[in-house]
Structure 1
Amino acid sequence: MLTYDSTPQEHAMFMTAILLSQQYNMTVNGKQFAYRLEHSNGRDVIETLYRTCMAITENKIIGIVGPAYSSEARLLARLCNRAGFPVIGYSTTDPELSDRNAYQTFYRTIPSDIITAQALLKLFQKYDWNSTNIIYQDDNYGEGGLQAIKKAFTDEIKISQKIKYDLSTDHIDDLRSQLEESPSRIVIVWADENVTTKIIQLALEAGDILAPSFLWIFTALHSKMQLKDKQLIGMLLIRPVTPQIFNVSTNTTLLKDAIDIWKNYDNQSYPGDETKIDGYALYAFDSAWLLILGFQEFCQRNSNNCLSLVNTKHCFTTRLTNRDKLHQILKNISFLGVSGYVQFLENATDRLTRSGSHFIIDNLQPSKSNTNELYAEEVLKLNGSTSNLTRDSTTQWISTLNPIRWPAYSGAKQNHYASLKGVRLNITVPISPPFYMEEFNNSTNKTDKSGYLYRLISLLEQRAGFSSNLIVAPDDISYDELVECVRNGTYEIVMADLAQTPSRSNKIDFSVSIYDNYMRLVIRKSGKVYASWHAFVLPFDGHVWLVIGITLGMSVLLIFGYEKVEGKRQPDKKKSDICDQSILGSFLKSFYHTIGAMAQTGSELRVKSFGGRGQTILLWLTSIYLVSLLTSSMTTYFIEKQKKPWIQSIEDLKMCGKLSCDRIGVVERSQHEEYVMQHLMNGNQMDYHRLKHQRECYAKLLNYHIDVAIADSSSAEYFTQTKQYCQLEVVGFPFGKTDFGIAVPKLWRYKQDLDNHIMKLKEEGEIDRLLEEYFQEKYCDKKDGHEGVGDGLH
């Protein structure tokens, strides 16, 4: 068998497997197993290919354990596809090597990078980290690791920076600036041991990108590396381990016999305790043992034609006979090794993790005996009882008895985002009452600052620990121009009544919403209401008046009939007052009596008939109902007439339907203009009245330059309740919902910290208290005598 130069423990355990097979008298065609060791460094794959070809032609090898690097394994596995030689990887983790169709004779005993990436996902979930940077070496191994992380993290964990380590130059371009400009403060290093050592040296030379500001997570770290620099305190190392650490079943008898041989053969490389044996060494043993068991079983089944080679003059023409039968045995083999159960997936080269996936995280901490040195302390372990390490599985990292020493030297967990503490921010604010206001104080000869945003900035400074330099924006600057200034770096951040819209979000980022905003219509209040001369008939429609007329006419006829009939039966002295000698006279008296009954005033005319009296009573009852109905209807009518503004909703302004376009005030280059163009003008250019700022619309309404203005709910509620603008009112329903947030550049490093502090202020009710202080004053409502709850902020 062929193997490649590796660490002393890996080399020793591979040798032990060969020697143990000899001790067990395990042979093939009566011959004991032997090995050949070759050197590789992961850099020169052609050299590794050449050495492998020499071993094939000179030593007639029939199987390969290794190489240690995925870049070499991919090439050698394709070569062995032609020859039929089995290649067993004990440290090659590239996810591409899992493809059984591409690598038909390749097997590996170590979990692939996909499993490691899923274990990292579980770590991020444990500490609620949602962003990271990744440094990777620019070869198949590094790029495979990057793809594995992207596949495992998906959209749940954002990769802020992907930083490539150039293997040809041993250099990273602008390492410090790339990390400092990143919003994430976690760095995953996906590189082999040698490259990781060089990356750490580059980081130490760059300065201020390790502890205490950043948390680095290594996937490999050289065991002999001298760790002394305090900038490495708190860093983490994730490494796969074998199941015996978690008391999962392994072949203890096989391990005991192997250790006995190891001690006798090379006692100096033995770590002194089987629990300290490197996981890769155990994987190397099981890789060699897999070939030994597979070859032995194959030859037992095919004693007449066992493992012969043909065309051995050149490695590219060499072929292993009966290769299909051999690989069928290897694919189906199952045994309990020193690293757990060894069995392979049906359609992949990966090992079936029957006992689970197992990882340890080491934490670099100051040595208790020598504070100038660091050592790796096991702080977390992951015992995957199943092979499922997806985000929804129940498998979790658990803590050991050793606490984690975080880079920031605090007991709290490391944050994945940059902190605002100690930072000085340049904050641009436009003059926009009540958000931000300035007034010169003659007594102090200074400018007093006030407003909702000014108070909010003070609260954030106290909570987040930053200081601010307030820059007042020019009066003639538009909202869209503020966005452009943030995008091109003229302004660092902007705090204003600036709404978040899709077009703006394509250019810059916004903090979490400070509050929800709607657009509102603002008009002048209506004057006194004058009723027309016929207003008393307006509450009833024509149908009601028709019924009243029919009722009146029928009552006149019925009373006239009843009294006329009754008068013929009675002497003149007992006749009713309605009954007259002439028909016309009797009819007019009946009409007079009916009107009196309907008006509830009565009449001096007396009715004598039973029917006439009953009809009179019915008229009285009807009149009571009609008077009540008329009173309530007229009250409702006049109230509605007094309160109903001339414009009801934003739809009344569509395509300038109710008034001329130049009577509609819209702040140019704002979310209002964007909404008007999209929803009211259907993209057509209309000559509406353009305003520079929201403050301008209220003055122009009072001066009759415009008849209606579109304003933000916050601004509208504030200005229409101030003494100067009591003649204005907000009408219609809110429309065009947006969020007000702080404008920051794309990928601004402090955004997460800012968002967290804003959310805490919201949860504690501080934001609501500020809103009530600046936006809930109802001066004009109190003045008008109908204090109530306005629309408020939405």
Structure 2
Amino acid sequence: ALIQSLQKLCSSTINNSSSCLSFVKSSFCFDNRFNQSNLLLDALSTTQFLGVSGPVQFTSNSTNRINGLYYSLKNLHSVASGLSFVSVLEYVDPGNWRTPLKENVIIWPGNTLTSPSSRALLKGVTLRIGIIRGPPFLIVENITDNTGQTIIQYNGYIWNLLNLLKDKIGFNPIIQLAPSNQTYTQIVQSVNDGAYDIVVGDVTVTSTRRELVGFSNAIFDNSLRIIMRKSPDISVDLLSFLKPFSRNLWILVFATFIYAGILMCIIERKDNEDLESGSILSQFVLSVWYCFGNIVGYGVEFNARTAAGRFLTAGLYILSLILVASYTANLASDLTIAKSQGVISGIDDIKNKKIPNNRIGIRVGTASEDYYLSEISGGNKNYHPLYTRQQMYDELLAGTIEVSFLDDGIAQYVTNDIYCNLTLAGNGFDVGIFGIVTPKQWLYAQDLDVNILSLRETGQLEDLRQKWFEQKHCSDSTVTSTAIEIKAVSGLFVTFAVISVLSFLL
């Protein structure tokens, strides 16, 4: 409107165009004045035209437009001469959408008057699909064909899923393998930047990522697992067979031997033929031996002859019954725990600092890093950084790190099929899902979700899971044995060896 008013001013009232744009200049910018301001306002008040937002017209009594905003919604109609845009709705401010004076119907796709209620369909749509290397979700192999040329061949859970969706929906995929040096955070950002239309892989849905992109319904139920070396060395404790009883209880048992031996010697030495022929020391030793044999459940070479001796023997039997049963139960429990116990038993041991932070390997730019920072270290990046899964496996086997975090499906695949000397500790934690990464508010999100749900309901997703994650090729010899190892009771045999040597010397 201002441009048209200036054009009208300079063309109708002033012949010299340079003078119609003259100003009264001042050193202070706000004191500059347009010489023909009154004439410009008069020209502006008489200017009227149809703009993008409707008719534009002013009056001398107001600084606002007379008629306000105006929009027209047009529908493409097929007519005899071709195609024509027909106005079907008008928007006038103040007000709302309204039917124009000449009412026209809306013709929807398919030449129907009924408005469509279905979603936008992916059928026939070309999609740039980013895929992420990582067995068994995506296995990438270089194959030499009959002509001698090397071609890339894909396989795995994600590849099978893509083929199912392609056959079911009918989209046209353009497959792009994500660079191996990109982190998951960078790959997700690539969708937000428009490098891919969607990304299909083992991408965990997190709140941080949802702020950048959208996600489909779950394509894989996931949790994190602790992966570590199998069968770590356990230190040998030569006195482990004494642990079922506390030190004070052992002292009490030993004192009971001595006390009962003295009492038996006093009671039996005059009436027992096996005792009366020996010296006082011999009588005392035999009496203690008698008490020891009865407490541990084995007989000795003489029997009590007096009523008092038999009554004392009955007390020793009762004591033996409780002590031997308690010792046996506690020893069995201790040996079982010692046999099955590894470096850690679950995520709580990590949180309780049982392993130094610099011995915990964490892959940078993954959901496991987010979990570690939020749940374990309080935002402190004090872990041992890892950049690839292969680096994780290598450093676990080399002993550079003690444990690491890995997604459940991949962890089971690796420990069952690839690295038989790696194992999983404890149960899964940080339960979540994998989803297909899409742009936020993606037009085809509903169509993709409906078809993924259909695959789940028909059991096809479960079939893929069983195919790629529930097979086991590692030898059964790697299964933890239920037998107690020699080193668990080595101290007991060492003690017996010492006793046998002393008995020979005596």
TM-score (norm 2): 0.70
Deviation of residue 715 (structure 1)? Answer: 2.0
Instruction: Measure, in 2, the Cα distance between the counterparts of 1:681 and 1:533.
Output: 37
2:331 is aligned to 634
1:722 is aligned to 417
Instruction: Measure, in 1, the Cα distance between the counterparts of 2:476 and 2:338.
Output: 22
1:46 is aligned to none
1:419 and 2:138 are equivalent in the alignment:
no
**Correspondence 1:236-275 to 2 at 5 A:** 236=114
1:522 is aligned to 227
Classify 1:577/1:703 alpha carbon distance in 2 versus 1 (closer, same or farther; 3 Å).
same
1:587 and 2:309 are equivalent in the alignment:
no
Classify 1:206/1:536 alpha carbon distance in 2 versus 1 (closer, same or farther; 3 Å).
farther
Instruction: Measure, in 2, the Cα distance between the counterparts of 1:769 and 1:631.
Output: 48
The CA RMSD measured in Å over matched residues stands at: 3.4
Instruction: Measure, in 2, the Cα distance between the counterparts of 1:648 and 1:787.
Output: 17
Deviation of residue 229 (structure 1)? Answer: 5.5
Confirm or deny: 8 A CA contact 1:432 1:695 kept in the other structure. Answer: no
| 3-state secondary structure, aligned to 1:732 | strand
1:645 and 2:342 are equivalent in the alignment:
yes
Classify 1:638/1:467 alpha carbon distance in 2 versus 1 (closer, same or farther; 3 Å).
farther
1:767 is aligned to 461
Deviation of residue 228 (structure 1)? Answer: 9.4
1:598 and 2:295 are equivalent in the alignment:
yes
Classify 1:681/1:530 alpha carbon distance in 2 versus 1 (closer, same or farther; 3 Å).
closer
| 3-state secondary structure, aligned to 2:217 | coil
**Higher RCO structure (Cα 8 Å, ≥6 apart):** 2
1:459 is aligned to 164
Deviation of residue 432 (structure 1)? Answer: 0.4
Confirm or deny: 8 A CA contact 2:77 2:107 kept in the other structure. Answer: no
| 3-state secondary structure, aligned to 2:73 | helix
Classify 1:203/1:667 alpha carbon distance in 2 versus 1 (closer, same or farther; 3 Å).
farther
1:476 and 2:178 are equivalent in the alignment:
no
Q: 2:155 aligns with which of 424, 442, 450?
A: 450
1:486 and 2:191 are equivalent in the alignment:
yes
1:533 and 2:238 are equivalent in the alignment:
yes
| 3-state secondary structure, aligned to 1:675 | helix
Confirm or deny: 8 A CA contact 1:576 1:607 kept in the other structure. Answer: no
1:510 is aligned to 215
**Correspondence 1:355-754 to 2 at 5 A:** 407=116, 414-415=117-118, 417-442=119-144, 446-527=151-232, 529=234, 531-564=236-269, 567=270, 575-579=272-276, 583-620=280-317, 622-653=319-350, 658-659=355-356, 661=358, 663-686=359-382, 688-723=383-418, 725-754=419-448
TM-superposition CA deviations, 1:479-527 (whole Å, max 9, x none): 0100110001011111111111111111111112223322222211234
1:199 and 2:76 are equivalent in the alignment:
no
Confirm or deny: 8 A CA contact 2:191 2:197 kept in the other structure. Answer: yes
Classify 1:778/1:630 alpha carbon distance in 2 versus 1 (closer, same or farther; 3 Å).
farther
Instruction: Measure, in 1, the Cα distance between the counterparts of 2:222 and 2:475.
Output: 22
TM-superposition CA deviations, 1:662-707 (whole Å, max 9, x none): x321111222222222232222343x32222233211221123322
Deviation of residue 424 (structure 1)? Answer: 2.4
Identity within the alignment, %: 28
Deviation of residue 717 (structure 1)? Answer: 1.8
Confirm or deny: 8 A CA contact 1:655 1:681 kept in the other structure. Answer: no
Classify 1:516/1:206 alpha carbon distance in 2 versus 1 (closer, same or farther; 3 Å).
farther
TM-superposition CA deviations, 1:357-391 (whole Å, max 9, x none): xxxxxxxxxxxxxxxxxxxxxxxxxxxxxxxxxxx
Instruction: Measure, in 1, the Cα distance between the counterparts of 2:247 and 2:175.
Output: 67
Letter in 1 for 2:75: Q
TM-superposition CA deviations, 1:555-592 (whole Å, max 9, x none): 3244334325xx3xx6xxxx442346765443222112
TM-superposition CA deviations, 1:328-380 (whole Å, max 9, x none): xxxxxxxxxxxxxxxxxxxxxxxxxxxxxxxxxxxxxxxxxxxxxxxxxxxxx
Instruction: Measure, in 2, the Cα distance between the counterparts of 1:586 and 1:230.
Output: 115
Instruction: Measure, in 1, the Cα distance between the counterparts of 2:161 and 2:101.
Output: 51
Confirm or deny: 8 A CA contact 1:509 1:746 kept in the other structure. Answer: yes
2:486 is aligned to none
Confirm or deny: 8 A CA contact 2:129 2:196 kept in the other structure. Answer: yes
**Structure 2 unaligned blocks of 5 or more:** 1-51, 57-69, 89-96, 483-506
Deviation of residue 202 (structure 1)? Answer: 5.7
Confirm or deny: 8 A CA contact 1:577 1:607 kept in the other structure. Answer: no
2:487 is aligned to none
Classify 1:624/1:446 alpha carbon distance in 2 versus 1 (closer, same or farther; 3 Å).
farther
Confirm or deny: 8 A CA contact 1:651 1:680 kept in the other structure. Answer: no
Confirm or deny: 8 A CA contact 1:524 1:728 kept in the other structure. Answer: yes
**What is the number of equivalent residue pairs in this alignment?**
402
| 3-state secondary structure, aligned to 1:520 | strand
Letter in 2 for 1:420: L
| 3-state secondary structure, aligned to 1:435 | coil
Instruction: Measure, in 1, the Cα distance between the counterparts of 2:98 and 2:289.
Output: 112
Greater Cα shift, 600-609 or 610-619: 610-619
Letter in 2 for 1:639: T
Classify 1:551/1:515 alpha carbon distance in 2 versus 1 (closer, same or farther; 3 Å).
farther
